[in-house]
Amino acid sequence: MNRVGLTTLKQIAAATGVHTSTVSRALDPQKRHLVANDVAERIAHVAQSLGYQPNRVATSLRTGRSQLVGVLLPDIANPVFAPILSGIAEALATEGYSPIVADAGNESAQQIAFVDNLLNQRVDGMILATVSRDDDVVGHCLDRGLPVVLVNRFEFRDRVSSIVSDDELGMRLAVDHLVSNGHRRIGHVSGPLDTSTGLLRRDGFSRAMAHHALPAHIEEASHFTREGGVAPARALIGANAALTAIVAANDLLALGTFDAMRMLGLRCPDDISVVGHNDMPLVDLISPPLTTIRIGHREMGQGAARLLLKEIEARDGRVQHVILQPELIVRGSTAPWRTPDPP
């Protein structure tokens, strides 16, 4: 049953007295020149007045292109994904594509189930924000000839394009900021090390500390969540290294660090300075306002969509890694370190 009032090629053909193939050609800018000018104009006019819009499903079946892109997120509720998704949706829309969003969690098996589902919808490509290192989801897509782009995280193999923030630079900015404010004993609450962000930020932290010839104290969180940050932060603080600052691998972990400090009766930044990562919404409003590393998430989403569209068009499997420059945002959670015993 045809949906109410939706015009088909056949109707236009009937109304103009030509064959559907002629109508199809007349309405396709690429093929319009194959049709006599007056006829094409007549067809365009009728199509216009009937409000004709091509049925994408039929087009998709015939051509194999659906104008749909799958977007796999590990957790929609995580505030960093909203601007990424927004950027993706925007960039896709300008090229006539639409995103199908899947909140696929962190388990590989479930992610693959979602990919298969999207594959059945015949999406033209996939944007993954989910990958952990050496993920099998990427291979799964690639095996099936599906273009893939990674966003926010990337894998340590050169199979597909990606767009991420310069995590190493971000950590250097954070550490340099603290060091230039007199901090020397600095700890790091790292993210899960099976994600590129977790690993690269940890490495970036270590290298930045080494550069200043300082020892790196590190504890790993199991998840990028506020709750996940509490235990490692407590561990760092309790390790009697007398830390004066903590760099967290993302803002949520920084919030968990605040929680841990509160439990231990420590104050920020008076006792310990804290730096986050991401500059997600509202962290400027919490108390104290969070010093953090700003990442252009929206631009990241746009870039991911553009990379994917390019690959969909060209299908040359050309791998490209875009790295965005992060920016240090200084707020109230960091303060200069006063010498232990003021005069």
Residues 15-49 as b or e (16 or more Cβ within 10 Å = b):
bbebeeebbbbbbeeeeeeebeeebbebbbebbee
C-alpha 314/C-alpha 154 separation (Å) is 22
Q: Cβ 16 to DNA, closest distance in Å? A: 9
Cβ 296 vs Cβ 324: under 8 Å = yes
Per CB under 7 A, does 190 bind DNA? no
Binding mask 48-87 for DNA (x = CB under 7 A): ----x-xx--xx-xxx------------------------
Cβ 268 vs Cβ 261: under 8 Å = yes
Cβ 184 vs Cβ 244: under 8 Å = yes
Cβ 189 vs Cβ 248: under 8 Å = yes
> For 40, how many CA atoms within 13 A lie in the half-sphere containing its CB?
13
Q: What is the CA radius of gyration of the chain?
A: 26
Positions in the binding site for a copy of itself (CB under 8 A):
1-6, 53-58, 60-61, 64, 66-68, 76-79, 81-83, 85-86, 89-90, 93, 96, 98-103, 114, 116-122, 143-146, 255, 258, 281-283, 285-288, 298
Q: Cβ 89 to a copy of itself, closest distance in Å? A: 5
Number of Cβ within a 10 Å radius of residue 329: 18
Per CB under 7 A, does 20 bind DNA? yes
Q: Report what 4 binds from a copy of itself, DNA, none; CB cut-off 5-8 Å by kind.
A: a copy of itself
Number of residues that bind DNA (CB under 7 A): 31
**In this complex, which beta carbon is closest to DNA, that of residue 36 or of residue 210?**
36
**In this complex, which beta carbon is closest to a copy of itself, that of residue 92 or of residue 169?**
92
**In this complex, which beta carbon is closest to a copy of itself, that of residue 60 or of residue 184?**
60
Binding-site ranges for DNA (CB under 7 A):
2, 6, 8-10, 17-22, 24-25, 27-28, 31, 33-37, 39-40, 52, 54-55, 58-59, 61-63
